[in-house]
Amino acid sequence: MCGIVGLFLKDKTLEPQLGAMLTDMLITMTDRGPDSAGIAIYGPVGDQAKLTVQSDNPDADFQTLAEDLADVLTSPVSLGRNDTHAVLSVANDKVSAARQALRELRPGLRIMSDGDAIEIYKEVGLPREVAERFQLTSMSGSHGIGHTRMATESAVTTEGAHPFNTGADQCLVHNGSLSNHNALRRKLMREGVRIESMNDTEVGAAYLTWRMQNGATLGEALESSLEDLDGFFTFVVGTKDGFGVVRDPIACKPAVMAETDQYVAFGSEYRALVNLPGIEDARVWEPEPATVYFWSR
């Protein structure tokens, strides 16, 4: 049992409140997932790519990281630290080289995400504690997704927490269990898709990345997941332009959505949505089984 939340803002005036709204939604889902929590925020797109990294020893790992990475890349790098995480800004054509260099410069670092807009923050702990340590309420952006985890398939660790990022600006949160993830992991890794954990959710994220890398839209990738993924699942997927939702044909995992002129929101339960502005006038519904929903700019 896990808790999922998602928020896509249509009204740009709400963007400074995105982090606060998502944090409130996430904390409400604490009893569905007290082990760990994470959030993906899609902020403004600048002229550089961003890599969000995490360290168990941030004081040592982050101290000269920007300078060390810039030396290897022969290109400017800036670093903004946020507790155990840091956002590295690099030239758009240096992302692959930066990922490789980080493995050599700081083997203990974990790369949480990369892309033009996405930043992912996740750690072990109660959602309120995770939100406070990263000051999530102060973050702004156009959309975001979050997850509270109750571990069933793997250990309670930072790398096991959601969201999972397997392609530029793409991430996934998941409630459920995939039964064919081991075979699919092997297939996707042969295709060159990046998978770094044994978590079944990361395989789901990697599958969607693979489909989109081969020309599918997000909607088409979610449609094909209904045929190719075995198990029971509710997915909420973030991309640079928006987010999508799909439930498996049995749809045993709870889900509710709400839409107004200002936003589209998703929650595992309605109580995650009750404090959103104008929720009393929203169109509220339960997503249909085996049906893809997505919104984009």
Positions marked catalytic = 2
With H, G, I as helix, E, B as strand and everything else as coil, classify residue 156: coil
Residue 151 CA neighbour count, 13 Å, CB half: 16
Q: Where would I find the H helices in the chain?
A: 18-28, 58-62, 65-73, 95-105, 127-134, 181-190, 200-213, 218-228
Phi-psi region of 170 (alpha: psi -120 to 50; beta: other; left: phi over 0): beta
C-alpha 61: how far from chain center: 24
Using a 10 angstrom Cβ sphere, with 0-12 exposed, 13-18 middle and 19 or more buried, the burial of residue 276 is buried
Distance CA 115, CA 240 (A): 8
Beta carbons of 62 and 187 less than 8 angstroms apart: no
Indicate the pairing of strand 170-178 with strand 118-124: unpaired
Q: Residue length, the chain?
A: 297
